[in-house]
Chain A
Amino acid sequence: MSSDQPSPFDLNANLARGALTRRDLLRRAGAAGGALSAASLLAACGGGSVGGASTHNPASAVGKVSYPHTVSPSWNWSNWTLYIDVKNHRHPSIDLFDKKYNTHTNYIEDINDNEDFFGKFQATLQAGQDIGRDLVTLTDWMAGKWVQLGYVDPLEWDLLPNVKQNLLPSYHGRSIDPKDEYLVPWQSGLTGIGYNSELTGRELTTVSDLWDPKFKGKVSLLTEMRDTFGLVMLNLGIDPSNCTVADAQKAHDEIKKYVDNNQIRAFYGNDYSNHLANGDLTAAMVWSGDMVQLLPDNPHLKFVVPKEGCMLWTDNMMIPKHASNPYNAHLWMNFYYQPQIAAMVEDWVNYICPVNGAADVLKSGDPSVGLPADPGVAKNPLIFPPKSTMDKAHVFKSLSPDEETKFNQLFADLTGTA
C-alpha cells in the first residue's frame, strides 16, 4: 500500500518518512548536545586522525584525472539520513545502479550536521589523505568551503552527459562553484515564509510582513544564519550571493530592532513546525521541505515565496580529494541524472529535485524501474517549483573564514549566545 507508493498527502507515508527529516535530525542532534560530536571534537582537539577514515591505498592519490576508467567492485558514498528512496529496507535506485554496473555501493548515512562531518574529516583532508569516501553530500556553504580549501576533485564532465543535459538551468554557475567545476546538486530546498492564514487574517507577501505589530511575540526566524540573514538582506535590497560584512551589519541592525521589542519570539530550527501547527506562531521563516509535510495536515498554513526573493539551499554531491574510486562516483552522478531514477528518489524524499524531466516521469510512472504514477508529487510546487519561483531564489555566498567569524558574531548577538 502507501509505503510502496507514497504521495505527499498520504498520512502514513508522511509519518513513515516525515517523522524525522534530515533537518529535524540536525536540530535534534544539536539539542542532544556535545555528546554527539564529542568524537569530532576530540579529533579536532588532538589534531590526529581519530575520524575513523581509512588512509589505505595511497597509490590512488596521485593526481586529478589520471585515474583509470574502470568500475571498482565497491565504492563509498556519504549522505544525510533519510535522504534517498527506501523500500523493504533497501534503496531501489542504488540497487539498479549496482546491478547495471556490477558494483557494490556502500551507502553510508553518516552526515547529520555539516560542521560535524567537516570536523571529523578535516585533519585527514588537510594531510592530503583519502577519507575513505568517493562521494560526499554537503550543503552549499560547506561545499563551498571544501572547494575553497582544495578538498574537492574537479569533475570530469565527459563522464556526465546526463548531468549536462538534465541539470536545471538555475543551478548553473552558482556563486559557490561559478564554473561548475566541482559540484553536482543532489536535492534542494527553499527558505521562505510560512504563516497561519486564520491568525493573520490576510495574505503575507514579504518579509516586512513579519514585523507587523499585530504578530508581536508570534514570529520566529531560523537558527541558520545564512537563511535568516539572507531573507532579511533580500528584504533590504541586498543580494546575499554577493554581500559584505557591512551588509550583514545592516541585516543585524534590522533584526535587532525586532528582537529588542519582542516582536521575534525565538530563533528555531525545525521546531518551528510544531509551534506553527498549534498556533503559537503566526508567521515564521520556514523551509519548504518541512512545509511539504505540514501543509496537507494544516489547511490554514500557507507557504509563500517573498516577493523580494527567497533563499535556495542545495546539498551537493562532490568527490573528495584522493578518493579511491572517483570513476564509480561519476557513474553514479550520471546515473542519478536520468529522469526516471531522479523520479524514484523524489517520490520518497520530497525536497526540490534539480533534475529536469523527473516531474514528467512521476506524472505517468515508469514501469521499467518499478515506479508507479504519483501526480500529487509531480504537481507539488514545493517539490517541483515553477520557473518563476526558481528565478527569485538566491544562494548565499561562500564566506571566507574571516567573514564567517564576523557574520557568526553578528548573528550570535541576535540569538543571545554572543
Chain B
Amino acid sequence: MGRVTKLVRAAPAYPLLLPGMLWLAVFFFVPMYYLLDMSTRTGNLIEGFAQTYHFANYTDAITSNKEQLIRSLIYAGSATVLAFLIAYPLAYAIAFRGGRFKNLLLMLVIAPFFTNYLIRTLAWETILADHGIVTHTLKTLQVLSVTDALGFTSGERLLATPLAVVTGITYNYLPFMTLPLYVSLEKIDKRLLEAALDLYANRPRAFFRITMPLSLPGIFAGTLLTFIPAIGDYINAYLLGSTQTTMIGNVIQSKFLTFNDYPSAAALSFTLMAGILVFIIIYARILGTEELA
C-alpha cells in the first residue's frame, strides 16, 4: 500500500486527534513557551521581568545549585533501583502465580492511590517518627548505628534523613514501576519457558534468557515512569527530609513561590528537562527497545 493511500485512509482519524492536540497546545506548549521566555529575563516581580536574553541565568542556576542537582540524581536513582528490586518480584509473582487473585492483587498495588499523595507522605512522618516502633526496632537491632556510619541517617533517627526521603520516594512511585512490569510479564507466552526447560535450560537460565529480555519494555517504561517524576519530586524531601536533603524540586519551588525569582526558577526547570531528555535518549539507546525509543 502506498504512502498516500495510507494517509487518505487515515484521514477520518485526524479530527479525532483534535481534542488531544488542543489539550497539548494549551496546557503544554503555551506554558512551555512562557517558561522558556521567562528563563532569559531579568528583573523582579514589582518592576516586572524584562526580556534581556540573559542566558547566564542558566549557568548561574546550574553552578549555584550543583549540590541539589547531584543529590536529586542520587536520590531518584537510588529510589528507582529500590523500586525495581521490590517491584520486579512483585509483578512476577502476580503475573505468573497470581491465578484468580490477579485482579485483586493488582488492585492492592494501586490501592494507595485512592488516598491523596500528600496524605500518604504525611503518613510516613508518623511511621518513621523518632518515638515510633520502626525507629525503636531498628535502634535496638543496631541497624541505625550502621546507617549512621554510612551517612544514610544521622543521630540514630530516621525522620529528616536521606534514608527517609529515598524511602518516601520509593514508596510513592512503586506502582508506576510495578504496573508496566506486570503488563510486560503478563503477556509473555508461557510456552516459551516450557520450551526452554525442554531444551535443558535450568530455571535461572530460562529466566535470564527468556523472561528478563521479554520484560525489557516493562523495565524501560517502569524505570522512566519512576525516575522522571522522582527527580523533580520535592514533597518527600520537604516532609521527610531536612536542610541537608533538599532536592532540585525544593529549590525550584522556593524560587517560584517564596522568592518570586521566576527567571532562575524557569531556567532551572528547563535545565532539569533537558537533562532528563538527554538521559532518556542515552538510556533508550542502551536498552535498545526500539518500539519504545
Q: Mark B107-133, 1 if CB is under 8 A from A, else 0.
A: 000000000001000000110011100
Q: Is the interface of B mostly helix, strand, loop or mixed?
A: helix
Stretch at the interface among B14-22, B136-144, B252-260: B252-260
Q: Are B64 and A401 in contact (CB under 8 A)?
A: no
Q: Are A45 and B37 in contact (CB under 8 A)?
A: yes
Specify which of B34, B243, B255 is in contact with A266 (CB 8 Å cutoff).
B243
Within 8 A of B (CB), among A265-286: 265-267, 271, 274-275, 278-280
Within the assembled complex, what's the spacing in Å between the Cα atoms of A275 and B242? 13
Q: Are B250 and A417 in contact (CB under 8 A)?
A: yes
The 5 closest A-B pairs by CB, nearest first: A416-B246, A217-B155, A416-B243, A417-B254, A45-B34
Question: How many residues does chain A have at the interface if contact means C-beta atoms less than 8 Å apart?
Answer: 47
A415/B254 contact (C-beta < 8 A), A28-B118, A47-B48, A259-B243 known: yes
A340 at the interface (CB under 8 A from B): no
Residue of B nearest to A122 (CB): B45
Q: Are A217 and B154 in contact (CB under 8 A)?
A: yes
Q: Are B130 and A119 in contact (CB under 8 A)?
A: no
Q: Which residues of B contact A217 (CB under 8 A)?
A: 154-155, 157, 160
Within the assembled complex, what's the spacing in Å between the Cα atoms of A408 and B160? 23
Q: Mark B137-161, 1 if CB is under 8 A from A, else 0.
A: 0000000000000000011010110
Q: Which residues of A contact B126 (CB under 8 A)?
A: 274, 278
B47 at the interface (CB under 8 A from A): yes
A34 at the interface (CB under 8 A from B): yes
Specify which of B45, B47, B130, B250 is in contact with A44 (CB 8 Å cutoff).
B45
Q: How many contacting A-B pairs (Cβ < 8 A)?
A: 111
Q: Are B246 and A415 in contact (CB under 8 A)?
A: yes
Q: Mark B222-264, 1 if CB is under 8 A from A, else 0.
A: 0000000000001100110111111000110111111110100
Q: Are A34 and B256 in contact (CB under 8 A)?
A: yes
Q: Are B44 and A401 in contact (CB under 8 A)?
A: yes
A32/B118 contact (C-beta < 8 A), A45-B38, A119-B45, A264-B243 known: yes
Chain B min CB distance to A411 (Å): 9
Q: Are A33 and B129 in contact (CB under 8 A)?
A: no
Chain A min CB distance to B158 (Å): 10
Chain B min CB distance to A38 (Å): 8
Within the assembled complex, what's the spacing in Å between the Cα atoms of A409 and B251? 12
Q: Are A31 and B44 in contact (CB under 8 A)?
A: no
Q: Are A31 and B238 in contact (CB under 8 A)?
A: yes
Chain B min CB distance to A186 (Å): 23
Specify which of A38, A267, A416 is in contact with B68 (CB 8 Å cutoff).
A416
Q: Are A34 and B47 in contact (CB under 8 A)?
A: no
Q: Are A115 and B241 in contact (CB under 8 A)?
A: no
A415/B34 contact (C-beta < 8 A), A31-B235, A280-B131, A401-B47 known: no
Q: Are A416 and B253 in contact (CB under 8 A)?
A: no
Q: Is the interface of A mostly helix, strand, loop or mixed?
A: helix
B199 at the interface (CB under 8 A from A): no
Chain A min CB distance to B252 (Å): 8
Chain A min CB distance to B269 (Å): 10
Within the assembled complex, what's the spacing in Å between the Cα atoms of A145 and B47? 13
Residue of B nearest to A265 (CB): B160
Q: Are A267 and B46 in contact (CB under 8 A)?
A: no
Within the assembled complex, what's the spacing in Å between the Cα atoms of A408 and B38? 21
Chain A min CB distance to B157 (Å): 7
Q: Are A408 and B45 in contact (CB under 8 A)?
A: no
A201 at the interface (CB under 8 A from B): no
Q: Are B260 and A119 in contact (CB under 8 A)?
A: yes
A42 at the interface (CB under 8 A from B): yes
Q: Are A115 and B260 in contact (CB under 8 A)?
A: yes
B213 at the interface (CB under 8 A from A): no
Q: Are B131 and A279 in contact (CB under 8 A)?
A: yes
A46 at the interface (CB under 8 A from B): yes
Q: Which residues of A contact B256 (CB under 8 A)?
A: 34, 37, 41
| A and B contact pairs by CB, cutoff 8 A, 16 listed | A28-B118, A30-B253, A31-B235, A33-B235, A34-B256, A45-B34, A116-B257, A118-B45, A122-B45, A122-B46, A259-B243, A262-B155, A280-B130, A416-B245, A417-B246, A417-B251
A280/B129 contact (C-beta < 8 A), A47-B48, A217-B155, A417-B251 known: yes
